[in-house]
Amino acid sequence: MPDLDAVFASLADPTRRAILARLAIGEATVLDIAKPFSMTQPAISRHLKVLEGSGLIVRRVEGAKHPCRLAPDGLATIEPWLDMLRAALTKNYDRLDGVLAAMTPNLGKDPT
Amino acid sequence: MPDLDAVFASLADPTRRAILARLAIGEATVLDIAKPFSMTQPAISRHLKVLEGSGLIVRRVEGAKHPCRLAPDGLATIEPWLDMLRAALTKNYDRLDGVLAAMTPNLGKDPT
DNA sequence: TTATTATATAACTATTTTATTATATAACTA
DNA sequence: TAGTTATATAATAAAATAGTTATATAATAA
């Protein structure tokens, strides 16, 4: 399993996110992926290596072509951590909710 | 609203994730946050500035102390993008499911 | 076999990031 | 007011990142 550092760092780059968005449509070879970018092929190759290293994509070899597609491992790695953060934010929100309720006792209560 | 680059880059650092985990428990001042780390106070101050810049935390000033707490904006910024990625992975999985079903027509069918 | 297509790697450069030490500022405390 | 506590900023220095060009390798096509 990839580590949190690697996955978040992968996602922090706009070129890599654009590559993932491209692969969200479907599988593509390295040159297919490189085409829309104003960047050299080696640069894209490096980005793909980073994405592969963080489990966000996988490649297979099909003759001379190496089609890439999205992989679940990268996202799976960060989901639990994001869940923790979401839970903490919700908890804090509930606490604020309590404070507001205490300040204005009738707000939010059933008006019947 | 913060941008995707800033939020993912913030989350890519283990010290900053540890700070967020600390704040998940509850509000804390800069020195409180700095204590557990084998790192100088200015270094923590910089990390807090990064977290604040990406909308993951907010601070208020209470005399000489600046208590920090989690903020929802950072996470809110990346959620839609993560949803997209999740959806694409699910779609690809369904597609693979179809392929597997076609290859082994009886697998996964009700055995009755 | 030779040329071409598809991809990867190496060497290098510029930029960004993360940490340090030293110092500034602002608010409390005695 | 003087000392202390709480935090921020500036000036580096070291390391990581992202791009470039040049080149290597492997598969396909002629």
Domain count, chain A: 1
Distances in whole angstroms, Cα of residue B34 to Cα of each of A40, A71, A80, B13, B21: 43, 37, 25, 15, 13
Tell me which residue range forms the domain holding A79.
1-107
CATH of the domain at B10: 1.10.10.10
A5 CA, C7 C1': Å apart: 27
Residue A32 lies in a domain: yes
B48 CB inside 7 Å of strand D: yes
Query: Is A9 (CB) below 7 Å from strand C?
Result: no
Q: What is the pLDDT along chain A (112 residues), one digit of tens a residue?
A: 899 999 999 999 999 999 999 999 999 999 999 999 999 999 999 999 999 999 999 999 999 999 999 999 999 999 999 999 999 999 876 666 666 677 665 554 555 5
Q: What is the pTM of this model?
A: 0.87
Q: How far in angstroms lies nucleotide D12's C1' from the CA of residue B41?
A: 17
Q: Is the Cβ atom of A35 within 7 Å of strand C at any atom? A: no
Of A14, A20, A85, the CB nearest to B20: A85
Please report the DSSP string for chain A in residue order. Answer: ---HHHHHHHHT-HHHHHHHHHHHH--B-HHHHHTTSSS-HHHHHHHHHHHHHTTSEEE--BTTB--EEE-SHHHHHHHHHHHHHHHHHHHHHHHHHHHHHHHSTTTTS---
Distances (CA, A) of A74 to A5, A85, A105, B90: 11, 17, 46, 14
Answer yes or no: is pLDDT of B93 > 90.
no
Residue A112 lies in a domain: no
Q: What is the residue-averaged pLDDT of chain B?
A: 90
Classify residue A36: in a domain, yes or no.
yes
> CA nearest B83 in A: which residue?
A75
